[in-house]
Structure 1
Amino acid sequence: MSKVAGPILHQHQLRLSYADTDPAGILYYAAWFPKMEALQTEFLYLCGLRQDTLVERFGWWTVSRATQCDYLEAARLFDRIRIELRLGEIGTSSFRFDFEMWRIDDELLVARSSNTVVTVSPDQRPVRIPDGLREHLQSWQLRAPALETATA
């Protein structure tokens, strides 16, 4: 995956817990994905794009098509982590959210990941990104300050 670019749209800070790690105390590789999804869902919610009401309000919704993660450094039990969300590539019927996971205590990038999202009709067929959503995406490309939530 290439280096993440663009403004930070939203971020979370958290402390890794025992449930996030393997018996050796190292982050279990799949633990990043629920944390990415939570950050993405909260950002969209704060922008008025609730996944549970998109079909009723707009006649479309979104589904994840592809996710990936590059594990750059070991993250361990009790590490404080900052997860940053940015907008990646925008296509015809899909767009990508990019994430970076930083260990706060030494500002070391421990993982970089992405989630490609497709806009679909109620019967889950891909549709062109609707104009209203495309306007959001274009404004997010230019966004400066990040929305930030309380630390966990």
Structure 2
Amino acid sequence: MGDISEQTGFRWPVRVYYEDTDAGGVVYHASYLRFFERARTEFLRSLGFEQDELRTRHGILFAVRSMHIDYVKAARFNELLWVSAEVEQLKSASFMFNQRAVRQDDELVCEARVRIVCLAAETFRPTAIPDFLLQQLNNDL
């Protein structure tokens, strides 16, 4: 998946709070799921898309279909991490994100590949990503 310094995609700052850690002060593995979720949400927001508006106005929502995650190094309480969200692959009803959490010096802590599926809000069944959103995501590739 490469070095974060080579990446030009979206990055979002995440401070590690006490609630994110285990008894030893190390980031609990499930906390990275929240960090990655925040970065994906902020990535969409940076493109002008609010997820609640996509649901109410366009009848779609996004859900994680699958995730492969590698825990590389321990992050600790009170560290500032930069969490990336970069679209790697785009299909008609889903897209794949490459995501990384790094320290301020770009040292890799955790990385993931996340498949997101577009769902019809009423039925929770897969549906095509609307053209206006597909076009914007294509521009980001």
After TM superposition, the score normalised by the length of structure 2 is: 0.84
1:1-152 → structure 2 map (5 Å cutoff): 2-3=1-2, 7-8=8-9, 10-104=10-104, 106-122=105-121, 123-141=123-141
By relative contact order (CA 8 Å, sep 6+), the higher-ranking structure is: 1
Aligned equivalents of 2:109, 2:31: Cα separation in 1: 13
Aligned equivalents of 1:130, 1:25: Cα separation in 2: 43
Aligned equivalents of 1:79, 1:134: Cα separation in 2: 35
Which consecutive unaligned segments of at least 5 residues does structure 2 have? Answer: none
Sequence identity (%) = 29
- How many pairs are equivalent? 138
User: SS of the counterpart of 2:111?
Assistant: strand
CA RMSD of aligned residues (A): 2.0
The aligned amino acid for 2:56 is E
User: SS of the counterpart of 1:128?
Assistant: coil
Q: 1:6: Cα distance to partner?
A: 5.9
Aligned equivalents of 2:84, 2:55: Cα separation in 1: 28
Aligned equivalents of 2:14, 2:46: Cα separation in 1: 19
The aligned amino acid for 1:112 is E
Aligned equivalents of 2:88, 2:136: Cα separation in 1: 13
Aligned equivalents of 1:3, 1:58: Cα separation in 2: 36
Aligned equivalents of 1:60, 1:79: Cα separation in 2: 35
Aligned equivalents of 1:93, 1:34: Cα separation in 2: 23
After TM superposition, the score normalised by the length of structure 1 is: 0.79
Aligned equivalents of 1:56, 1:84: Cα separation in 2: 27
Which consecutive unaligned segments of at least 5 residues does structure 1 have? Answer: 142-152
Aligned equivalents of 2:24, 2:61: Cα separation in 1: 40
